[in-house]
């Protein structure tokens, strides 16, 4: 398995707050990498540095490198919009646009210049199938997406992210607002999707990391404490702090 | 315990009376306008009154056709909307989404100030600056015209359009915009394809509010439009529904005065229609 993303000595400040400290990590292709750690440890912040969503916050300062396919994404030559097309994102709270289900999925492809109705129909169906929601919505594609349940909305958001054919899918606590049944559906979906995509998922739920991820990174106070194969990290952690966290002594 | 209840009830009663007072004022004005507006219409005939092309209220053979006023008010408002809405809309998008905080604070202050300027001042500046400029530029005998009135109205409706649109745009959840950006859309694409559609009923309400402001304005347009009851033409002096009432009321009597009340009634109906439209959009925004 080759590596698709690498962070080198990554530091991030929100104004005066040093939120990420010298993070070094390599993320392998077509696998699920989970970021765990207590609230405020920097795991979501780090996830957002991977597709430059932190650029939108005015006071953020970043040093170090994040390489995607060998290219530093913070290089001034990089086209941020193209980068975000290749590195998609699913958010904590399901956030479908207040439009029809069809238009939600077609939004990305349309933005990137696809106008043909036939082509769009094809992309919409394929994306919804890939997100395992096609059968539930195929008869109401023209209905407003906000009428769906939370779990369906989140799978729609995954389908919407898949519609622009990304290479990597970043998921920021995608199940924290969902019930257990919807959660397990998203987990099954993630396992299915890793055949074709690289998935990086932030989760506050350690069982979730154990269930679905191949590798796990443990963050604490802005530092990457430990990173390795999920099974190994949870059974034989090398760092005392990791052990304390996964055995529930804090966090 | 009992005393508390008494105080509660008294205060409740006072508020109720104050509320009813407002409603009472509206009712009183409505009833008064209808009662005093009907006689002239019955005497002149509804059709001749609304669609008569000539207003000659003080002639020996007086004629009371208000079509020129109605059309002038409609054209003037439409013109103001045509110019004011694009400017106001793009200004609102800029201020709510793109401007840096310092620029935004400064410009918002300027917009509020624009809203606070009395209409007579707009009229005065229009009279002294705009009217001569229009005369020079378009080489017409008199710059006091429908065109000048449209320009003044367009500026006067900007604050309502900008502020109400801004409120609607700022209420668009950031999650929508994040989702669009994360799909690789540029910020500008995001604002126009996601934020604006999500705020569309609020923006529509802003436009309707602008229409209401423009159609109800009297003082400023009277000062720049020439106030002559011609059928509307862009570079001719014209008279609006509002100014028709204002300019003759002080010396009118008999049927002429009754006809002025009827004009006010027509104007009132226009405003009612606009308010109903506004409420429709505001309600939609809430859903």
Residue B273 within any structural domain of the chain: yes
Cβ contacts from A onto B, under 8 A: 63
Instruction: Read off the pLDDT of each residue in A226-248 and give the average, rounded to a whole number.
Output: 93
List beta partners, residue A3: A28
DSSP secondary structure letter of residue B228: -
For residue B184, being part of any structural domain is answered with yes
CATH of the domain at B142: 1.10.3720.10
Last residue within a domain, chosen from B10, B28, B51? B51
CATH topology of domain A3-246: Rossmann fold (3.40.50)
How many domains does the structure of chain B reveal?
A: 2
pTM of this structure: 0.86
pLDDT value for A83: 95
Task: For residue B180, give its domain range.
Answer: 66-286
Comparing CB atoms, the residue among B182, B186, B193 nearest residue A88 is B182
Four-residue CA torsion sign, B175, B180, B181, B183:
positive
Regarding whether B211 and B111 lie in a shared domain, the answer is yes
What tokens appear for B109 in the block? 């202050």
CB contact under 8 A, B184 and A89: no
Domain range summary for chain A, segments of one domain joined by +: 3-246
Pairing of strands A198-202, A32-36: parallel
Contacts of A157 in chain B (CB under 8 A): 179
**Strand, helix or coil for residue A102:** helix
Q: Are residues B113 and B136 part of one domain?
A: yes
In a domain, B275, yes or no: yes
In-domain check, residue B158: yes
In angstroms, the CA B58 to CA B177 distance is 62
> B173 — contact with chain A (CB < 8 Å)?
yes
**pLDDT for the residue B281:** 84
Average pLDDT over residues A130-148: 93
Whether B177 maps to a domain, the answer reads yes
Please check whether residues B40 and B127 belong to one and the same domain. Answer: no
Write out residues 192-231 of B within 8 Å (CB-CB) of A: 193-194, 197-198
Q: What angle do CA B32, B69, B85 make, to 5 degrees?
A: 100
What is the tens place of the pLDDT at every residue in A152-189? 999 999 999 999 999 999 999 999 988 999 999 999 99
Which residues of chain B register pLDDT less than 70? 1, 285-287
Q: For chain A, say whether B182 makes contact (Cβ under 8 Å).
A: yes
Q: Which residues of A173-210 are buried (b: 16+ CB within 10 A; e: fewer)?
A: bbbebbeeebbebbbebbeebbeebbbbbbbbebebbb
Whether the per-residue pLDDT at A204 is higher than 80: the answer is yes
pLDDT in tens, B202-235: 999 999 999 999 999 999 999 999 999 999 999 9
Asked whether residue B56 is assigned to any structural domain, the reply reads no
B287 touches chain A (CB under 8 A): no
Residue at B57 is within a domain: no
Q: How many helices (H) and strands (E) does chain A have?
A: 10, 10
B264 and B143 inside one domain: yes
| C-alpha dihedral, B243 to B246 to B249 to B250, nearest 10° | -130
Is B39 found in the same domain as B129?
no
pLDDT at A218 over 90: yes
Residue A20 predicted with pLDDT over 70: yes
- Residue B140 in domain: yes
What is the per-residue pLDDT for B159? 96
Report the share of chain A in percent with pLDDT over 90.
89
Let me know whether B17 and B79 are in one domain: no
Least CB-CB distance to A111: which of B173, B184, B197? B184
**Residue B106 in 3-state DSSP?**
helix
Residue B238 and residue B274 in one domain: yes
């Amino acid at each position: 398995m080759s590596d698709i993303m690498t962070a080198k000595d990554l530091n991030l400040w929100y104004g005066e707050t040093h939120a990420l400290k010298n993070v070094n990590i390599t993320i392998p292709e077509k696998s699920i990498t989970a970021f765990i750690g207590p609230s405020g440890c920097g795991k979501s912040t780090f996830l957002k540095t991977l597709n430059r969503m932190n650029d939108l916050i005015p006071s953020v300062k970043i040093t170090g490198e994040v390489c995607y396919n060998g290219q530093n994404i913070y290089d001034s030559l990089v086209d941020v919009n193209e980068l975000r097309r290749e590195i998609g994102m699913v958010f904590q709270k399901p956030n479908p646009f207040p439009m029809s289900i069809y238009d939600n999925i077609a939004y990305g492809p349309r933005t990137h210049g696809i106008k043909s109705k036939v082509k769009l129909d094809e992309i919409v169906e394929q994306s919804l199938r890939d997100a395992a929601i096609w059968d539930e919505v195929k008869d109401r594609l023209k209905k407003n997406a906000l009428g769906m349940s939370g779990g369906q909305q989140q799978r729609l958001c995954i389908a919407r992210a898949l519609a622009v054919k990304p290479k990597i899918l970043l998921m920021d606590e995608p199940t924290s607002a969902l019930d257990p049944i919807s959660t397990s559906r998203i987990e099954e979906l993630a396992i299915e999707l890793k055949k074709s995509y690289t998935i990086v998922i932030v989760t506050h739920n350690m069982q979730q990391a154990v269930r679905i991820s191949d590798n796990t990174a443990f963050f604490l106070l802005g530092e990457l404490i430990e990173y390795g194969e999920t099974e190994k990290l949870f059974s034989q952690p090398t760092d005392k702090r990791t052990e304390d966290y996964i055995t529930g002594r804090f966090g | 315990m009992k005393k508390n209840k008494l105080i509660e009830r008294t205060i409740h009663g006072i508020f109720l009376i104050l509320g009813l007072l407002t409603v009472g004022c509206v009712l009183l004005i409505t009833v008064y306008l209808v009662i005093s507006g009907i006689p002239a219409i019955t005497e002149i005939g509804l059709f001749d009154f609304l669609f008569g092309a000539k207003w000659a209220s003080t002639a020996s053979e007086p004629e009371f056709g208000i079509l020129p006023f109605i059309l002038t008010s409609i054209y003037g408002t439409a013109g103001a909307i045509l110019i004011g809405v694009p400017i106001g809309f793009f200004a609102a998008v800029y201020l709510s989404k793109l401007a840096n905080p310092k620029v935004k604070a400064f410009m918002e202050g300027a917009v509020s100030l624009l809203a606070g300027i009395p209409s007579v001042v707009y009229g005065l500046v229009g009279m002294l600056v705009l009217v001569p400029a229009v005369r020079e530029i378009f080489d017409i005998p008199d710059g006091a015209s429908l065109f000048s009135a449209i320009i003044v109205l367009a500026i006067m409706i900007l604050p309502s359009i900008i502020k109400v649109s801004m409120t609607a745009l700022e209420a668009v959840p950031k999650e929508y915009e994040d989702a669009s950006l994360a799909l690789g859309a540029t910020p500008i694409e995001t604002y126009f394809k996601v934020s604006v559609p999500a705020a569309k009923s609020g923006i529509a309400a802003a436009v309707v509010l602008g229409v209401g402001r423009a159609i109800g304005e009297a003082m400023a347009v009277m000062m720049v439009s020439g106030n002559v009851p011609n059928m509307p033409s862009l570079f001719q002096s014209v008279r609006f529904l509002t100014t028709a009432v204002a300019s003759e009321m002080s010396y009118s009597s008999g049927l002429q005065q009754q006809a002025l009340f009827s004009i006010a009634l027509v104007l009132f109906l226009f405003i009612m229609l606009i308010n109903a439209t506004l409420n429709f959009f505001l309600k939609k925004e809430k859903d």
